[in-house]
Structure 1
Amino acid sequence: MLFYSSLSRKRNYYTAHVIALLTCLLIICSCEKKDDDSTSLYVTGKIINPKGDYVIIKNYSGINDTLALDKKGVFIKEYKELKPGLYTFTHPTEYQSIYLGHGDTLRLRLNTKAFDESLAFTGAAAKENNYLINLFLEIEEQNRSLLSEYQREPSDFKKMIDSINEIRVKKLNKLASANKFQDEFVKSAMKILNFNSWSRLERYASAHYGKNEILKSDVLPSNFYSYRRDLEICSTDLLNNYAYRPYITAHLSNLALYNCALKHGTGKTVDRNGLEYRKEKLNVIDSLFTDEELKGLFAGIETRNFIRSRKNAVEINQLVAKFLEISQDEELNNEITKMAATYIDLDPGNKLPDFDLYKFNKEITTLSSQVKGLSVLFYWSNKNESYALRIHRKVNDLRIKYPEINFIGVNLDDPKSNVWSETSQKFGFKKSSEFQLVDNQSISKQLALRNDNRSMVIAPELVILDPNINLFHYQIETTLLGYLSR
Structure 2
Amino acid sequence: MIKYIVPLISIFLISCATSKDENFTYVGGKIIHPKGEFVIIYDNKSEVVDSIKLNIDNTFLGKLTDIKTGLYYFKHGPETQYLYLEPQDSLLFRLNTWGFDESLVFSGSNAEENNALIENFLINEKQIKDFYKYNKLSPDDFLKTIDSLKKDKDKYLENFKTRTVDFSDNYLDILKVALYYPLYSKLETYAINNRLKEQPDSINENKFISHRDNIRINGDSLMFFPPYGKYVYNNIYYDVYAKNIKDDSDDFTLSVLETVNNKIESKSLKNKLLKETIIRHFYSKKSCNLNKKAYDLFSKFSSSDSDKAKITKLLADVKHIPKNKHLPSFNLHTPQGSIENINNIIRGNSSVIYFRNKDYSSDKWVASRMNYLIEKNPEINFLVINFNHNNKKYIKNLNIQHQFYLDEKSDAHNFLSSKYPRTILVNKKGIVVNSFCALSSKKIEKQITELH
So what's the TM-score if we normalise by structure 1? 0.76
The answer for the alignment partner of 2:154 in structure 1 is 169
The answer for the alignment partner of 1:191 in structure 2 is 177
The answer for the alignment partner of 1:323 in structure 2 is 298
Relative distance call for 1:324 and 1:53 in structure 2 (3 A) is: farther
What SS does structure 2 have at the residue aligned with 1:59? coil
Are residue 205 (structure 1) and residue 173 (structure 2) matched? Answer: no
Q: Distance in 2 between matches of 1:272 and 1:196?
A: 23
Letter in 1 for 2:173: K
Question: Does the 8 Å contact 1:56/1:89 carry over to 2?
Answer: yes
1:78-97 mapped onto 2 (5 Å cutoff): 78-90=63-75, 94-97=79-82
Give the paired residue count.
438
Letter in 1 for 2:26: Y
Q: Deviation at 1:347?
A: 4.0
The answer for the alignment partner of 1:64 in structure 2 is 47
Q: In the TM superposition, what whole-angstrom CA distance separates every residue of 1:71-106 from its partner, at most 9, and x where no partner exists?
A: 657765433443322223345764433211255422
Relative distance call for 1:359 and 1:470 in structure 2 (3 A) is: closer
Q: Distance in 1 between matches of 2:63 and 2:428?
A: 56
Q: Which of 69, 72, 83 is matched with 1:98 structurally? A: 83
Q: Distance in 1 between matches of 2:200 and 2:409?
A: 44
Q: Distance in 2 between matches of 1:37 and 1:211?
A: 62
Q: Which of 342, 367, 377 is matched with 1:388 structurally? A: 367
Letter in 2 for 1:255: D
Question: Does the 8 Å contact 1:195/1:247 carry over to 2?
Answer: yes
What SS does structure 1 have at the residue aligned with 2:127? helix
Q: Deviation at 1:322?
A: 1.1
The answer for the alignment partner of 1:131 in structure 2 is 116
Are residue 257 (structure 1) and residue 241 (structure 2) matched? Answer: yes
What SS does structure 1 have at the residue aligned with 2:377? helix
Question: Does the 8 Å contact 1:279/1:319 carry over to 2?
Answer: yes
Letter in 2 for 1:384: D
Are residue 141 (structure 1) and residue 126 (structure 2) matched? Answer: yes
1:328-347 mapped onto 2 (5 Å cutoff): 328-347=303-322
Q: Distance in 2 between matches of 1:81 and 1:464?
A: 53
Q: Distance in 2 between matches of 1:153 and 1:146?
A: 13
Are residue 437 (structure 1) and residue 416 (structure 2) matched? Answer: no
What SS does structure 2 have at the residue aligned with 1:361? coil
Are residue 242 (structure 1) and residue 226 (structure 2) matched? Answer: yes
Relative distance call for 1:351 and 1:49 in structure 2 (3 A) is: farther
Q: Distance in 2 between matches of 1:147 and 1:69?
A: 39
Q: Which of 281, 289, 294 is matched with 2:256 structurally? A: 281
What SS does structure 1 have at the residue aligned with 2:53? coil
Question: Does the 8 Å contact 1:456/1:466 carry over to 2?
Answer: yes
Q: In the TM superposition, what whole-angstrom CA distance separates every residue of 1:327-383 from its partner, at most 9, and x where no partner exists?
A: 111122212222232233344235544333223331222212112124323447794
Q: Distance in 2 between matches of 1:210 and 1:227?
A: 22
Q: In the TM superposition, what whole-angstrom CA distance separates every residue of 1:144-190 from its partner, at most 9, and x where no partner exists?
A: 20232234343443333133122212222213321325223223202
The answer for the alignment partner of 1:121 in structure 2 is 106
Identity %: 22
Letter in 1 for 2:254: K
Q: Distance in 1 between matches of 2:111 and 2:44?
A: 19
Relative distance call for 1:205 and 1:81 in structure 2 (3 A) is: same
Question: Does the 8 Å contact 1:348/1:466 carry over to 2?
Answer: yes
Q: Distance in 2 between matches of 1:207 and 1:34?
A: 58
Q: Distance in 2 between matches of 1:416 and 1:387?
A: 15
Q: Which of 406, 411, 433 is matched with 1:465 structurally? A: 433
Q: Distance in 1 between matches of 2:328 and 2:160?
A: 59
Q: Deviation at 1:137?
A: 1.1
Q: Distance in 1 between matches of 2:18 and 2:248?
A: 55
Q: Which of 349, 352, 355 is matched with 2:324 structurally? A: 349
Are residue 371 (structure 1) and residue 364 (structure 2) matched? Answer: no
Q: Distance in 2 between matches of 1:280 and 1:474?
A: 22
Question: Does the 8 Å contact 2:426/2:434 carry over to 1?
Answer: yes
Gaps of 5+ in 1: 4-21, 262-269
Q: Deviation at 1:481?
A: 5.8
Question: Does the 8 Å contact 1:413/1:440 carry over to 2?
Answer: no
Letter in 2 for 1:465: V
Q: Distance in 2 between matches of 1:441 and 1:229?
A: 55
Q: Deviation at 1:28?
A: 3.9
What SS does structure 2 have at the residue aligned with 1:82? coil
Question: Does the 8 Å contact 1:455/1:469 carry over to 2?
Answer: yes
More moved, 371-380 vs 137-146: 371-380
The answer for the alignment partner of 1:232 in structure 2 is 216
Question: Does the 8 Å contact 1:87/1:240 carry over to 2?
Answer: no
Superposition CA RMSD, Å: 3.9
The answer for the alignment partner of 2:26 in structure 1 is 42
More moved, 356-365 vs 411-420: 411-420
Relative distance call for 1:80 and 1:437 in structure 2 (3 A) is: closer
Q: Distance in 1 between matches of 2:340 and 2:368?
A: 25
